[in-house]
A and B are shown apart, each in its own frame.
Chain A
Amino acid sequence: MPNITFVHPDGRAQRIDASDGESAMQTATRHDVSGILAECGGNAMCATCHVYVDEGWLARPPAMGDDEDALLDGAAAERRANSRLSCQINLAADLDGLILNLPDRQL
């Protein structure tokens, strides 16, 4: 079972267990991580599950789809080169230890 870490804007790190086949967003909502809203429930339609992938992990998550790319332009917090929607990151075994930084806001 992979585990992942969410780092809040104040620097607090929250390490949580993921279940196989889950997305990073699902793991976050299951553990009630406060910085992930996920209003659309993972359908890549709301951009309220925005994260910044930690530098060391940039190459690993699956490639970005067109929907995700377009939505990130409308995200509430600044879009950066390492911006992703956490509902589009499925937690395969090679993402064990993944670190995701939370933006200062989702709305």
Chain B
Amino acid sequence: MSATSRIDSATPERSAPAGVPHLDVDPFSTEFFEDPHRIHDLLREAGPVVWLEKWAVYGVARYAEVHGVLNDPLTFCSSRGVGLSDFAKEKPWRPQSIILEADPPAHTRTRAVLAQVLSPTAMKGVREHFTAMATAKVDELLARGSFDAVADLAEAYPLSVFPDAMGLKQEGRENLLPYASLVFNAFGPPNQLRQKAIERSAPHQAYVAAQCQRENLTPGGFGACIHARADAGDITAEEAPLLVRSLLSAGLDTTVNGIGAAVYCLARFPDQLARLRSDPTLARNAFEEAIRFESPVQTFFRTTTREVELAGHRIGEGEKVLMFLGAANRDPRRWENPDRYDVTRRTSGHVGFGSGIHMCVGQLLARVEGEVMLAAIARKVASIEITGPVKRRYNNTLRGLESLPITISPA
């Protein structure tokens, strides 16, 4: 990596800061997607704050700084977008999120609504059904023996529970994954992945906008629960569909990649599958550890609201700061043997779901899905063998696979 002070031609108005290590790595390139760990290490070791020349942004990759930025939302705000695009300078590609891309006090109100809709109490209502569906899925896959763990398990299982839990109609569900892929690509820079996704977005956007309306959501689902909060006066009738949209954007592809990560871990580390099988109550932690280990959501940006000193470096107002959640989750300053997948690790404190006021509001739902799926595997599956080429899926924010051919055998 060069340490030159070249200023990227795409952003000539931004001068490169002195004193901050400059790196010319592109965290939104296929090279990076194929092997982020080597570059994460470079970013962490270069310093607590780095300057990424390619996109003219600051970056933090150590646990302490990532955690610190996440927990100072007044200085490092979300309302100017949590992608590269600065909403103060550029129009958002879709109407701005009223939770993810909001700051207190506006965020506090919308957040309270989703936190209640997805509360521990609400989870008790879905758990039994989610467990039955996971058990049936694993039985079906055991009968097949060989299959693609991405399409047939990591995608198929969340698709069999989440849209119903939301209260969506059957028709059009094939738009859900492309829409989510678009949302997470759009947080990235204006590269081909983002541009292509936005060009093709019209039908997916139209589908999602329609499903967010009250009349399209079955009573009892999470979507209807959000609309009910508008009746109670906690949000306006205009805000309710936007909060439904947040769950449709963030609630499916994330768990697909989370469950995919867990299965990929168990396939690669048979000793950990054996440990899990010997004690299926480890299922929940095995899922959590996969979130730390693979970090399905790799990055988010913040924008500085004032001049601030971060780890000894002065950062001006209106600067984008890129947080490498995946690098923080493997920072040797914070984790013992960070590159080891260990189903018994104490995972508390990982930032795979973020941290602070924006920490994933759907984390309990994600954990239910992950836990019950891994528990079914722990009880029923003796071995997982990778039987073909493993292909990576490229997305500006999400880390996961395109294809994982495996063969499983019954316990």
Interface mask (A57-78 → B, CB under 8 Å = 1, otherwise 0): 0000000000100110111100
A71 touching B120 in the complex, CB below 8 Å, given contacts A39-B348, A45-B115, A46-B364: yes
A29 touching B348 in the complex, CB below 8 Å, given contacts A39-B288, A43-B359: yes
A40 touching B359 in the complex, CB below 8 Å, given contacts A29-B346, A70-B116: yes
Measured CB to CB, the nearest residue on chain A to B67 is: A41
Q: Which residues of B sit under 8 angstroms from A70, Cβ to Cβ?
A: 115-116, 119
| B190 part of interface (Cβ distance < 8 Å) | no
CA distance A45 to B364 in the complex (A): 9
Q: Which residues of B sit under 8 angstroms from A46, Cβ to Cβ?
A: 120, 363-364
A74 touching B120 in the complex, CB below 8 Å, given contacts A38-B348, A45-B363: yes
Asked if residues A41 and B350 are in contact (CB atoms below 8 Å), the reply is yes
| Cβ distance A98 to chain B, nearest Cβ, rounded Å | 20
Select which of A32, A38, A74 is within 8 A of B121 by beta carbon. A74
Interface mask (A28-42 → B, CB under 8 Å = 1, otherwise 0): 010010000111111
Q: Which residues of B sit under 8 angstroms from A32, Cβ to Cβ?
A: 346
A107 touching B284 in the complex, CB below 8 Å, given contacts A45-B115, A71-B119: yes
| B145 part of interface (Cβ distance < 8 Å) | no
Q: Which residues of B sit under 8 angstroms from A37, Cβ to Cβ?
A: 348
Select which of B116, B346, B350, B356 is within 8 A of A43 by beta carbon. B356
| A47 part of interface (Cβ distance < 8 Å) | yes
Asked if residues A41 and B115 are in contact (CB atoms below 8 Å), the reply is no
CA distance A84 to B196 in the complex (A): 49
CA distance A38 to B346 in the complex (A): 10
Asked if residues B355 and A39 are in contact (CB atoms below 8 Å), the reply is no
Measured CB to CB, the nearest residue on chain B to A76 is: B120
CA distance A46 to B123 in the complex (A): 11
CA distance A18 to B167 in the complex (A): 46
CA distance A37 to B285 in the complex (A): 10
CA distance A45 to B353 in the complex (A): 11
| B22 part of interface (Cβ distance < 8 Å) | no
Asked if residues B355 and A41 are in contact (CB atoms below 8 Å), the reply is yes
| Cβ distance A88 to chain B, nearest Cβ, rounded Å | 15
| Cβ distance A86 to chain B, nearest Cβ, rounded Å | 12
CA distance A81 to B308 in the complex (A): 43
Measured CB to CB, the nearest residue on chain B to A73 is: B121
Q: Which of A68-107 contact B (CB under 8 A)?
A: 70-71, 73-76, 107
Asked if residues B349 and A75 are in contact (CB atoms below 8 Å), the reply is no
CA distance A41 to B120 in the complex (A): 16
Select which of A43, A67, A75 is within 8 A of B120 by beta carbon. A75
Q: Which residues of A sit under 8 angstroms from B124, Cβ to Cβ?
A: 74
CA distance A71 to B353 in the complex (A): 18
| B367 part of interface (Cβ distance < 8 Å) | yes
Which A positions have Cβ atoms within 8 angstroms of B? 29, 32, 37-43, 45-47, 67, 70-71, 73-76, 107
The 8 nearest A-B residue pairs measured at CB: A74-B120, A74-B121, A38-B348, A41-B349, A43-B359, A47-B120, A29-B348, A74-B119
Q: A42-B349, A70-B116, A107-B284 are in contact. List 19 more A-B contacts (CB 8 A).
A: A29-B346, A37-B348, A39-B288, A39-B363, A40-B359, A40-B363, A41-B351, A41-B355, A43-B356, A43-B359, A45-B115, A45-B359, A45-B361, A46-B120, A67-B115, A71-B120, A74-B119, A74-B124, A76-B120
Q: Can you report 12 residue pairs joining A to B where beta carbons are below 8 Å apart?
A: A29-B348, A29-B349, A38-B348, A39-B367, A40-B353, A41-B351, A41-B355, A43-B355, A67-B115, A71-B120, A73-B121, A75-B120
